[in-house]
Amino acid sequence: MKEQFQFTDKAKLVCYIMMGTGILGVIISLFYGANQHSRLWSNILLNSYYFTGIALGGLFFAAAHQVGYAGWHTLIKRLMTSFSTYIPYMFGFIVLIIIFLFLGKTNLYHHWVHPAADDLIVAEKLPFLRLDFFTLRIFVYFGLWIFFMWWFRRVEIQQDSDGSLSQYQKIKKVAAIFLVVFAVTSSMVSWDLIMSLDPHWYSTLFGWYNFASYMVACLGFMILFIIYLKSKGYLKQVNDNHIHDLGKYMFGFSVFYTYLWFSQYLLIWYGNIPEDTAYYIKRFDVPFFKALFFITLAINFVVPLLVLMTRKSKRTYNTIAFMSVLLIVGHYMDFYLMVMPEPNAAAAHHGGHDDHAMMNSNETVLYAEASGDQTEDHMQADDQEHGNAHSADTHGHHGESAHGHGDKRQTYAALGLIELFIFIGFAGGFIFTVLNNLQKASLIPVNDPYLKESIKHHI
């Protein structure tokens, strides 16, 4: 019954090529485009956070089923917990961002790291949004997650040699404690790393919204890994019923994600508060973001609703694999829309876009709007311009005035080879880490009391 996975040299080579592609994307981003500085750090933040969520989702999924006395997932539980082994590497990238924040070499959180003097909204949040306190919180989140990852996997692997029921009960206790920690930290990290990119805006649904999004991607990766392992002769006892259950979860979380998407949008729409609506206005006033907004909704809701509704689609490997890849990409684009607009926003001046881009290619680029009576005199002092732009964005009525004159926001964000290469690099690192950890213990938890139930699972 014991299955020992062998990570072949060929599979390792593919992962190395993917990671090398990511490094190439980073190198290209340093030399290509007017705003390469912001584009690079935005991509690092985007992928670090996205894959942290996917890695964390695997541990959450295993822990939730452990506490719920589920048995069907036992055959694939080791795969789920292997996802979490990527968390320490993502922590390294987040630490890199923090170091460059302290050095003043990245503009990701410029709104609150270097707040404008007249920005009253940010001023009220500064006791929380301090770089030292921000750093402390990030270290606490990742420290807890890494501890529980290590603890969960250590006890789980010990169970292979010690088949006593006490080991199973110990895992259940670890899982229960982790779920409480996860409930708090998963929301808070979304506020710190993503929502604070624009501290003028907030959403009480944001943590849940992020959770639903990366859980769909996590389930997609689970399905792809299982199909890959079965194609190599592993997980022989995993059958269509297990894939079907994962497909149901992927469908269910897609609907849950859409419910939160609609709830957040509807509340902001009918509330019509400038500090809230600015989040969507900034995305709707850029044609590229607006198109991506609706494309993302179609991929993440309409397509799974139409395709994954039927039983057959969740039991056909080609269909479920295609949907997994599509939703992984779709939810990447969802996080792209959360991260990219603010750090890559550019001041819009009549006839002055290119000059501004060159001036800020290696400095901070902040969001600003052009009103009908703006002149190029504002460009004489860059710091003063940032303050004025920030104030206009904060108080809302200035932004409405600018919009009324028909001006459009400018952005240096793009979705091209740089984004594709860096995403492939992070994905390659994730695949390598998961497969490398799978070979360190049996693929099957041989002494799990629910193993027989999982083998006989049928729906």
Average pLDDT over residues 354-378: 34
Provide the residue ranges of all domains of the chain, joining segments of one domain with +. 9-344+412-455
The DSSP-derived string for 410-430 is EE----SHHHHHHHHHHHHHH
Top-confidence residue, 322 or 116: 322
**Lookup result for tokens 């708090």:** 184
**Lookup result for tokens 């992984």:** 328
Q: Percentage of the chain surpassing pLDDT 70?
A: 85
Among 51, 45, 29, 28, smallest CA distance to 412 is for: 29
pLDDT, tens only, 212-257: 999 999 999 999 999 999 999 999 999 999 999 999 999 999 999 9
pTM of the model: 0.85
Dihedral over Cα of 436, 442, 444, 449: its sign: negative
What is the DSSP-derived secondary structure letter of residue 114? S
pLDDT, tens only, 369-413: 333 333 334 334 344 434 443 443 433 333 333 333 345 678 888
Give yes or no for a contact between 357 and 35, defined as CB atoms under 8 angstroms apart. Answer: yes
Give yes or no for a contact between 55 and 90, defined as CB atoms under 8 angstroms apart. Answer: yes
Cα dihedral 302→304→307→311 (10° resolution):
-140
The pLDDT, as a whole number, for residue 367 is 31
Average pLDDT over residues 78-98: 96
